[in-house]
Amino acid sequence: MIQSVKRAFEILDYIATNGNLVRLNDISAAVGLQNTTVHNFVNTLKELGYVEQDELSPRYRITSKISELYIPEKPLYQIKKEVKPILEKLSAETGETTYLAIQLGSYFRYELQSEPERSIRISLELGREHEMRHTAVGKVFMAYSPHLPAVMEKGLTEKEIATQQKELNEVVKNGYALDLEEYEKDLNCIAVPYLYKGRIQAVVVVAGPAFRFDQTKMKSTAEKIKTLLK
């Protein structure tokens, strides 16, 4: 096997299956190469027209030139159009704030929000990048990504890696992830994957204060979300 060809396809595969908008550092961590080496590979792929850099950030994405490696995905505007009424329905029925989150490599951001008519409610900033660790959203993206867990294992002990993998297996088994005040004290979140042709495209989230949005309500809400997304 020619290692340089193998490495190039590993890089393309990582970009395609992790939000198709990723940082050089994330690619390096995933494929186990130095940043300078990955930079050379990416520059070559750019010159050949298979990869391009984002206009607004130092992130890379695959172009349609290599369609057989480009993971089938639904346009974001279409996902938002489909999910918006679902978020509004969930917010009205649960009395909690709902969100749509998308992946940006090893980060994610909230794209849509629907708030309930309550004086005490959760409000998370739209458009800001969030780290995956210790969040329900991050657990879902990691559980359904073939490469992202390897990036997120950096700096963890073997015991922590084993614990993380066990938790991700549970996420796939249950079809949702819980955040019980892990990301922020007094905040509980539940996240469910939005899939298209078996690939994760986004995550639907419901967040509420821990005193009100307990595990029983969270789990029943997860089943409701899964039904609405079918």
CATH number for position 10: 1.10.10.10
CB neighbours of residue 181 within 10 Å: 12
> Which one-letter amino acid corresponds to residue 16?
A
Pick the range with the lowest mean pLDDT from 37-51, 100-114, 125-139, 213-227: 125-139
Statement to judge: residues 55 and 147 lie in one domain = no
> What is the residue range of 111's domain?
76-229
**Residue 1: pLDDT above 80?**
no
pLDDT digits (tens, 9 = 90+) for 86-112: 999 999 999 999 999 999 988 999 999
User: What gap in Å lies between CA 105 and CA 118, rounded to an integer?
Assistant: 34
Cβ(124)–Cβ(99) under 8 Å?
A: yes
pLDDT digits (tens, 9 = 90+) for 190-209: 999 999 988 899 999 999 99
Looking up residue 151, the CATH number of its domain turns out to be 3.30.450.40
Cβ(144)–Cβ(192) under 8 Å?
A: no
**Bridge partners, residue 203, by sequence:** 101, 193
Statement to judge: residues 146 and 219 lie in one domain = yes
pLDDT band of residue 119 (cuts 50, 70, 90) is: confident
Statement to judge: residues 112 and 19 lie in one domain = no
Asked whether residue 71 is assigned to any structural domain, the reply reads no
The residue from 42, 66, 90 where one domain ends is: 66
Asked whether residue 192 is assigned to any structural domain, the reply reads yes
Please give the pLDDT value at position 126.
Answer: 80
Statement to judge: residues 121 and 152 lie in one domain = yes
Total domains in the chain come to 2
Q: Take residue 13 and report the two structure tokens written for it.
A: 């595969």
